[in-house]
Structure 1
């Protein structure tokens, strides 16, 4: 009588159970990739805005307009050499900003940009979620423009 080699049904079930446990523990790591991708896109926009602001400041310095409260460098409105916090000024400085992103100008002298098509992307206050890039224009000669990424809560999911 020949003895056949192979796996028993119990062994196959045990292997399937182990693979299921591994999948359950690894799945949350891969499910969060969309959130990470959105945050990375915001970081990319932040870098684009900072780079454009640096170039505009360099052009302003060459033209001697880096110390004036409002001026125009080419077709970009500047404040103390940096682009003003308006959709028009940043749109002229950053390629693709107006076509790929939605920007809103609140009353605090800044501009907030998020993904195109999102209607409710930031809530100012203690209880709101947030997912945007905030650019604040320069307020004086000694205070440069700032760009920060805000990605809190569930809005970036």
Structure 2
């Protein structure tokens, strides 16, 4: 009869120690993967948005800085066959014919996102529609002008969504903002 061979107790302990060390080193890295993915999502969309804002502004310059009405509304440029509304005074996209950089609404912010990106993420201005969308769009007005805020819904506390007009980006979730007066796009990662 052959003698059965197996692992000795020392070999098993060594394997368990090695696996424990690997788990201790690798596990924290795997826990941050979701946060890193959410950060990258917002940064990617914000980067595409900022590039599109620059392209629209450049087209406004190329077309001779078309003006709208006396408030700067109603101006537009054609980019890739699409009519994109811009503020007639500064050439940055405003999303809607009646909008201008000094009087944006959340709907105009949403229209801007949809107009300038070729494949925009699903977004909404309605708290009741967040289940079917990726971004929640809010509008904030202060002494510095209007600012569109695009919150990544996956990073928000669903029981206390940011209110319209509330511009608290610290600790609220990942977001990016757009200032139609200057074309500035800023990213806020709050994971």
What TM-score, normalized to structure 1? 0.75
How many residues align? The count is: 147
Of the structure 1 ranges 26-35 and 102-111, higher mean CA displacement relative to structure 2 is found in 102-111
Contact 2:85 2:93 in 1 (8 A): yes
Distance 1:5 1:90, change over 3 A: closer
Q: Does 1:81 align with 2:85?
A: no
Secondary structure class of the residue paired with 2:118: coil
Query: What is the match of residue 137 of structure 1?
Result: 180
The yes-or-no answer on 1:103 pairing with 2:103 is no
CA 1:62–1:48 in 2, change beyond 3 Å: closer, same or farther?
same
Distance in 2 between residues matched to 1:107 and 1:15, nearest whole Å:
61
The offset of 1:72, in angstroms, is 2.3
Tell me if 1:90 matches 2:113: yes
Correspondence for 1:48:
48
After TM superposition, give the deviation of residue 33 of structure 1 in Å: 0.6
Structure 2 unmatched runs, 5+:
95-103, 123-133
Of the three residues 103, 106, 114, the one matched with 2:151 is: 114
Deviation at 1:125, TM superposition (A): 4.6
Q: Which runs of 5+ in 1 are unaligned?
A: 139-143
Contact 1:121 1:130 in 2 (8 A): no
Give, in whole Å, the separation in 2 of the partners of 1:127 and 1:45: 19
Cα deviation, 1:113-147, whole Å, max 9, x if unaligned, reads 13356553697459633310111112xxxxx4111
CA distance in 2: counterparts of 1:126 and 1:36, whole angstroms = 18
Shift of 1:42: 0.8
Q: What's the RMSD between the two structures over aligned residues?
A: 3.1
The structure with higher relative contact order (CA 8 Å, sep 6+) is 1
